[in-house]
Amino acid sequence: MALSDIEIREWATGRNVAKTIAAHLATQIKTGRLPRWHDLPDNLSLAQQWDASERTAARAKELLALSGLITKSASGYYYVA
């Protein structure tokens, strides 16, 4: 399932913090600020940046993985697909 620009905008303006974080990361990926194979920030860094829990940051990454924008490595790190 590809994440459309409309979905990204909806996620960015919604009240769900995980989706807001995911929208921010998706925008960075789609604009090339996070290039292919680039590691994503760890959950603690994202949580601190967004004043959220590490679990919320992890959920944001899960949403992006489901959309196909990022992939989880065997060692547990997420990177841009």
Residues in contact with 64: Cβ distance below 8 Å, sequence separation at least 6, in sequence order:
3, 22, 25, 26, 29, 70, 78
- 16-41 residue pLDDT tens: 999 999 999 999 999 999 999 999 99
CATH architecture under which domain 5-80 falls: Orthogonal Bundle (1.10)
Residues in contact with 39: Cβ distance below 8 Å, sequence separation at least 6, in sequence order:
77, 78, 79
Q: Which amino acid is at 63?
A: L
**pLDDT surpassing 70 at residue 1:** no
Mean pLDDT of 60-76: 94
Mean pLDDT of 74-81: 92
Q: Between 76 and 13, whose confidence is greater?
A: 13
What pLDDT is recorded for position 31? 94
What pLDDT is recorded for position 81? 93
Mean pLDDT of 52-78: 95
